[in-house]
Amino acid sequence: MPNASAKGLGFLALIALACGSLLATTEHFTAERIAANKHAHELQQIAELIGMQPATEPNWQAGVWQLCNGIDLIKAQSAGYGGPILALVARRDGKLQGLRVTMHQETPGIADFVAQPNDPWRRGLRQRDAQTLATVDTVSGATVTSKALLGLVERALVHDVKRKACDP
């Protein structure tokens, strides 16, 4: 007759197997919907960033999507205080047109400006080129975060991409 501890371990293994199966089944049935929601969210962020719904599906090539209106959208990343900061940067003629932070782990309350496109500090970055970004002061109390965001934007603005002919 098995002892109580062996019965307990067997029962625990059975519960773990049931939970694993349930998670795998849930992932299988929700993966397509999750992917569609992520895509819709990306399109919404792009529309907010460029001020209109894009006419075509995103055509990312090495993290850059060239729009027919002369704007380059660039996927950018930088190491912030709390972890990586991911963003979409819109530039035209070497100047910042807009910035959307798509993911960050910065300290709530201190670095709220990171996710707020209309924050006064963030608005002050618009229409700047890489050279004039060097004159922007960091945010007091969030120096590492603001330097990370400035570096991210600067690298995106100087990212060398040859403009291609556009098919509307």
11 vs 165, higher pLDDT = 11
d(CA 55, CA 58): 9
First to last CA, the chain: 77
- Tens digit of each residue's pLDDT (9 = 90 or more) over 65-122: 998 888 999 999 999 999 999 999 999 999 999 999 999 999 999 999 998 988 999 9
Residues 139-156, mean pLDDT to the nearest whole number: 92
Q: What is the mean pLDDT of residues 8-32?
A: 89
Q: Is the pLDDT score of 2 beyond 70?
A: no
- CB within 8 A of 90, min separation 6: which ones? 49, 50, 71, 72, 73, 74, 96, 97, 98, 99
The pLDDT value recorded for residue 165 is 66
Q: From edge to edge, which strands make up the β-sheet containing 72-79?
A: 64-66, 72-79, 84-92, 95-103
Residue 167 has pLDDT above 70, yes or no: no
Q: Dihedral sign, CA of 98, 102, 105, 111?
A: positive
Res 41: pLDDT: 87
pLDDT the model gives residue 51: 86
pLDDT at 126 over 80: yes
Predicted pLDDT at 86? 94
What pTM value is reported for the model?
A: 0.79
